[in-house]
Chains A and B, each alone.
Chain A
Amino acid sequence: MVSAISFSSAIGEMASRLLGLGTVRCEAGNLSSHLRVLLADSDVERATALELRLHEITDAVIFRVPAGSTLLDVVAAQAPDVIIVDMARPDRDALDDLRRVGADNPRPVVMFIDRDDRAFMEEAIAAGVSSYNVVGAYNVVGAAFPDVKPIVTAAVAIFRRYQQVADDLHSARMQLKERETVNRAKSMLMKQRDIGEPQAYRWLQRRAMNENKRIADIAAALLDEGGEKGAPK
């Protein structure tokens, strides 16, 4: 729990510290020589962290999806070379439609796939990142594989860190909840049996061992039964 919070606030701090720098990014000069990257991530904090990371490693121009705009609108308006999509977005299926070549779609989108690196692709999907390149981009000469891979790699790393934070937070919450359940079960046993806390805990422990279950599960079952049938004689 503690580590989760400090990690997430560290990101927040880093983000706000670096945000000031971010505002002076390459607006002057020849934009056409920069890769245009669209970050379609509804998690603002995570998108900010990724944007900052990308500014460190590339000179790409970064776009986001403004609130109220659809992914398709932004793709049409900003003509990105690379699109990083949060897989939790349901409108990913709309992006899939842009992959078709057609008269109405002169710049088809292709999915970024590293065929030689299955582990990396699995990692990306597990982290919730999918990425697309746009064929025949207006800028540079299209998004070449060596230019795109570091961007996707950075995205996967950031998404994984956020997932880790979320997982840690979840397990911390579960632990707290379980501790509370065990405490409630102990109090119930103490009251019912007129025993002390160590005895109540030992009773739960013994039963957990006998039934090959976790103490928290025994405690939850005991509370479910309302302490009638399951109480020790």
Chain B
Amino acid sequence: MTRGSVFRIGVLRLTDAASLIIARELGYFAREDLDVALSVEPSWSNIADKLAYGLLDGAMMPPPLALALQLGLSGSDGPEAIIVPAALSLNGNTVTLSERWAAPMLDVAPLSAIDNVRRFTAVLRKRRTKPVLAVVHTFSTHNLLLRYWLATGGINPDREVTFTVVPPADTVEAMATGKIDGFCAGAPWGEIAARAGLGRTVATSHAIWNHGTEKVFAARRAVAERQPDRLQAALRALLRASLYCDTPEHAQSVAEILSHPHYLGLPTEIILTSLPGAATRRSGGGYASADVSVFAANGATYPWRSHAQWFLQQMTRWGYIGSDVDCSAACDAFRPDLYAEAARSVGISIPTISVKSEGYHDATWHLPALPTAIAMGPDRFLDGARFEPVWPPSRQD
């Protein structure tokens, strides 16, 4: 087998790698005649560099990192450009505070994410100390959502707390040794901290922004250009696997495969708390110990250019991007056209628009799509804000 014939995909040890891992392990890639090698990477930086130098063909990635790479803010700026032809998951992160901070907030009753941040603000102002909060990468959904949560409570994230970067698998240990007072990380790390009695979940990413894109599938642009059939084959397998992962009846088998030492290396029962149908599997106490990943429903796999725009807006808000920077090229890396081709052959409905507003729906609604409309959940923000996408999406300014 020559090196070129293997399609190399990078993943991290996270629940939302499920679609890629399942596509490999249950033979969805093989059925597309695609020999996929999954490379479990220790850091997002590795994923970014390996894509940029062609040592990976595709990878899971937080959307802000994909955008930061486009803008030259992160990564090694290697010769290979990337595109985002699909998304992998919605929701799935928790904001977890150590007992010392969470206890005085949660002693009354489990409250909502917005009540919790107001209480956190009160505790923080009374203590006059800066809590240390960890995120998994600067250009992560975790960082942007945690900042959104803090800012909603009136906390200035740059002045009133200290941010640090800790790999997801090290967050619980860092909390145990008192190095950090809280973290925002993907599943199942919040659940692990809760079960260890170290911390409590005070907000989930779903509570901060209902059904925001959490991870995307990034691929080298050269693969799309030179081997479009292989990329389509990979996307078809991925979309089929996402349907499998989204079925609650499959959660047990998905969790068992993910728990393998080669992948997450965590107990099946803990992984189960972050998979569809998990409401009954969570540990007690707290507002909600885990957030459940969505892999297919709610248009989860669609690479929304409007979500890219929202992340870019937040990156600008916190000063990572200058307000004079033209972000349209970064947005253009999201490729709903490539998604549509694969979705059509798999029989998944395709939204008729590449951007959508956020913050208008409290309850279920229907997204115009072909051949049939897609049932969607709420899309609210914690503070009731609304987001209007820029149209046409390729002209960001």
Interface residues of A (CB under 8 A from B): 70, 72, 87-97, 99-100, 102, 111, 113, 118, 121-122, 125-126, 130
Contact = CB atoms under 8 A, between A and B. Distances in A.
Nearest to B139: A96
A125 B79 CA distance: 14
B25 interface: no
B320 A94 contact: no
A72 B45 contact: no
A93 B77 contact: no
Contacts of A125: 49-50, 53, 55, 76
A113 to B, nearest CB: 5
A135 to B, nearest CB: 15
Contacts, number: 75
Contact of A93 (B54, B137, B179, B319): B137
Contacts of A102: 319
11 contacts: A87-B45, A93-B45, A93-B136, A93-B137, A93-B165, A95-B45, A96-B45, A96-B138, A97-B165, A100-B320, A126-B55
Interface of B: 42-46, 49-50, 53-55, 74-79, 136-138, 164-167, 169-170, 179, 319-320
A121 B53 contact: yes
A94 B55 contact: no
A121 B46 contact: no
B53 A122 contact: yes
B167 A90 contact: yes
Contacts of A97: 137-138, 164-165
Given A93-B136, A93-B137, 17 more contacts: A72-B165, A87-B46, A88-B42, A91-B165, A91-B166, A93-B43, A93-B45, A93-B167, A94-B165, A94-B167, A96-B74, A111-B76, A113-B78, A118-B53, A118-B79, A121-B53, A130-B45
B76 A92 contact: no
A96 B166 CA distance: 11
A207 B172 CA distance: 52
Nearest to A87: B46
Given A100-B138, A121-B76, A91 B170 contact: yes
Nearest to A72: B164
B28 to A, nearest CB: 24
Contacts of A87: 42-43, 45-46, 49
A72 B54 CA distance: 29
A27 B123 CA distance: 49
Nearest to A112: B76
Given A90-B169, A94-B165, A96-B138, A122 B76 contact: no
A96 B165 contact: yes
A99 B68 CA distance: 12
Contacts of B169: 90
Q: Which 6 A-B pairs have the closest CB atoms?
A: A90-B167, A94-B165, A90-B42, A97-B165, A92-B43, A92-B45
A93 B319 CA distance: 19
A126 B49 CA distance: 10
B173 to A, nearest CB: 11
A148 to B, nearest CB: 15
Nearest to B49: A125
Nearest to A71: B165
Contacts of A121: 53, 76, 78
Nearest to B320: A100
A88 B77 CA distance: 20
Nearest to A73: B179
B76 A113 contact: yes
A126 B76 CA distance: 14
A113 B44 CA distance: 18
Nearest to B13: A90
